[in-house]
Structures are given as C-alpha cells and as structure tokens.
Structure 1
Amino acid sequence: MARQHWLDPLARKLLQATGDLPPDPVKAKQTAKQKAKQKLSAPPTPAATWSLDVNRATPEQWQQLPGCSEAMVDVLMRLQRGGVQFTQLDDLVLLLNLPNDLVERWTPHLVFRWHGDAPVLPEQPPLDLNAAAPTLLEQTLNWPKPRLQRLIQERRLKPFEHLADLQERVCLPPDAVEQLIGRVSFGARPSGPSLPPRG
C-alpha cells in the first residue's frame, strides 16, 4: 500500500506534465502569487528611469533633479552657452558644491556625453583664483599675459564667484574654462550662498 501511495503522486505529476490532467488548483494559485511577487520585487529597467545629458540639458531638465536650485541652473546654462562641457561627476559636484545626499540622488540620471573631441584631464591641485599670488597664477595657468592681467584686475574689483563668473568677466574661451574645471577654487569671496541668483 505504501508503494502505491508513493507512485500515485508521481503518476499524477507525469499526467499533469503531459497535459492529460489539469494542475492542482492550490499549486496554480501559488504559482500565480509567486509570479506576481517576483514582478513586484524586480528591479526597474533602464527605460523606467530618465536620463539627462549634462552637456546639453535644458533648464527644465535640470529642474527635474531634486534640490537643483535656480542659481545652479543659471550657472550651468551660462557655462553651456559659453561652450563649456563636463567630463565627469566630480567636476559637477565641485562646481555646484553638491551635498552627498544630492549626489546620490542625481547620479542615476546624469549622462556625461562629450560632444566633439574629448580633452585630456590635467592632474593638478586646486588653485584659489581669488587668493593665489600672480607668479603662482602665471606658472600654473600658463596663460597669455593680457589674459592673466585681466584676471588680476577683475579680482581686485570683486572676487570671482564661480567658473561662469570667471568666464564672463575675463572673456575666456570654452577650452580655457574646461581646463580649469576641478583644478581651481574660489575661496576668498564674500560670505553667503556660493551660487547667488542673478537679478
């Protein structure tokens, strides 16, 4: 009798597999539940998340990012209009002084796509453009003398706030600004928000 009990479930499974018997109703329910559970726990596909091309994004796209202020968008748009491009996340984080929580929330959406020939990233320590001595500026930046003199004159009038401010006041070409991303800082400036909105 025990042998017959052992064979019955096996025979039943075989007949269900060949389609001669319908599946057990309890098992069918469990399978449907398991499938639904797997569907819910499945990670989102890349199509489910949106992305933003850092070097071509519109103000509206930037504003979709949590915590992206109008002042940040203003600086990014000014640099974009000036032809400046970003090659990596660190440069953007440094420019906007982003806190870690925003970096984590922005990262999945940011795409750093270079438009044109990619530049060679220099490895140099940050240089404070508002406080560095003229001789140090000359040695580090390797700029033409008229451009260097203009930088020194402009910073005497008012400290630079960020790269966009520097580009506009010193009339820098895009490639010169790109070489400064991640290499310079603007430490000696008035207290207050680092990226004040323009009036």
Structure 2
Amino acid sequence: MPRSHWLDPLARRVLQATGQLPTPPRPAPLQPLAIEAEPPAWVMDVNRASRNEWLQLPGCSQDMADLLVRLQQGGVQFACADDLFRLLELPIDLSRLWTPHLVFHWHGDAPLQPQATPLDLNNASADQLELLCWPEQRLASLLRERRSSGFKDLADLQERLCLPASTVEDLIGRVSFGNRRSGPSLPLH
C-alpha cells in the first residue's frame, strides 16, 4: 500500500479505525528548547547596592530603589531574597528575574536568625517582646497601648507608638497581629 492514501481524511480515518489502513505514527509532542542557563552578566550585594544598581533590575521603579537605599542608610540589611521580595511585594515573575543578580552578604553584626513564626505583638509576653531589641520606654509604650486595644497592623502600630519608618520596615515579616483582644482580657505585663 502507498504511504499516503488518496482518500479524503474522513474515509482515511474510517479505514484506519477498521484496520484496513495502518494508522500513521503520532508526531512527538513539541519539547521546549533546552536553553542552558548562563550565569548573570552582573551581580550586586543587596546590602551595599547603590540606587543605580537597583535600577538595573528589570521592573525596579525609582520609588523601590529609593526605599531600598533609604533602608540601607538606616542600617537595615536583608538576610535573604524572601525578605526583600516580601517588603517590595514583588510579583513572582520579577522575583525570578531578580534572583540570579542578588547576593546577600551580611555586613557588621550577625544577622537576626529568622523566626519560625512571626512574633505576635498582640499576645506576646514581655519576655518575648524583648526579642525586638527595643528600648525599655518603647516596649512599655507597646504594652500600654495594646492594653487599651490590640494592634490592627504595622500602620496602626506605627501611628500609636510614633515609630520611625526604619523601625517599622525592620518588622516586616518578623511580627504578626494575631487575635486582637482588648483591655482586661490581656495579661498585664
């Protein structure tokens, strides 16, 4: 029998289904091209990067670069990419583009070890709150304010305690605001 049949496609399928014509082999599914990952042309130390270096990253806005440089000037350092991406609320596709270019070197004192779970500021004991490494007066203000009502979020915490932006930025990913209880049900510390 010839390789292809002169019949129209419908007649050909009927003959193939009844076994009178061999079924043609199915074409192999298309495979994505294997592109070898090349090392990035440049990398930057996240904790020492300049504004211009940040702006080289795809999708990095001037506001993002300014924020990151401001944090750096305030002594804030990032221990890992997740902290950086969480702060900037970076979409996954941009996170993937940035990752090969980022290096995280810690400069100065040892970095804070990431906590398994964020510190719940509305329910933490006074001893647990000392992990924040805040001055006693600030911790006393936090305890006093949460006795009147629990904190809603970082913005509420910042407004009620008059915290500088750098302090609030340092809390991103490290604290939570679990069950907001008010007044008498909170333990007095």
If the TM-score is normalised by the length of the shorter chain, which range does it land in? 0.5 to 0.7
Cα distance in 2 for residues equivalent to 1:154 and 1:84: 26
Match of residue 15 from structure 1: none
Match of residue 66 from structure 1: 58
TM-score by length of 1: 0.51
Q: Deviations over 1:5-26 (max 9, x none)?
A: xxxxxxxxxxxxxxxxxxxxxx
Question: Kindly tell me: are residues 97 and 55 of structure 1, through their superposed partners in 2, closer, same or farther at Cα, counting changes over 3 Å?
Answer: same
Q: Deviations over 1:41-98 (max 9, x none)?
A: 995754x611111001111111111111222222212211111111111111111111
Aligned-CA RMSD value: 4.2
Counterpart contact for 1:150–1:170, Cα < 8 Å = no
Counterpart contact for 1:151–1:170, Cα < 8 Å = no
Match of residue 141 from structure 1: 129
Q: Deviations over 1:117-169 (max 9, x none)?
A: 432414242357xxx43x5374543244411355689999xx645xxx79xx5
Counterpart contact for 1:127–1:183, Cα < 8 Å = yes
Question: Kindly tell me: are residues 71 and 177 of structure 1, through their superposed partners in 2, closer, same or farther at Cα, counting changes over 3 Å?
Answer: closer
Q: Aligned letter for 1:49?
A: A
After superposing the two structures, state which structure 1 stretch, 89-98 or 101-110, moved more. Answer: 89-98
Match of residue 45 from structure 2: 53
1:104 correspondence with 2:96: yes
Question: Kindly tell me: are residues 173 and 76 of structure 1, through their superposed partners in 2, closer, same or farther at Cα, counting changes over 3 Å?
Answer: closer
Counterpart contact for 2:71–2:166, Cα < 8 Å = no
Structure with more contact order per residue of length (Cα contacts < 8 Å, sep ≥ 6): 1
Question: Kindly tell me: are residues 60 and 119 of structure 1, through their superposed partners in 2, closer, same or farther at Cα, counting changes over 3 Å?
Answer: same
Cα distance in 2 for residues equivalent to 1:58 and 1:186: 34
SS of 2:78's equivalent in the other structure is coil
1:170 correspondence with 2:179: no
1:113 correspondence with 2:101: no
Matches within 5 A, 1:6-21: none
Match of residue 184 from structure 1: 175
Q: Identity over aligned residues, as a percent?
A: 50
Cα distance in 2 for residues equivalent to 1:183 and 1:153: 21
Question: Kindly tell me: are residues 74 and 98 of structure 1, through their superposed partners in 2, closer, same or farther at Cα, counting changes over 3 Å?
Answer: same
Structure number with higher helix proportion: 1
* Equivalent residue pairs, number: 137
Cα distance in 2 for residues equivalent to 1:102 and 1:177: 21
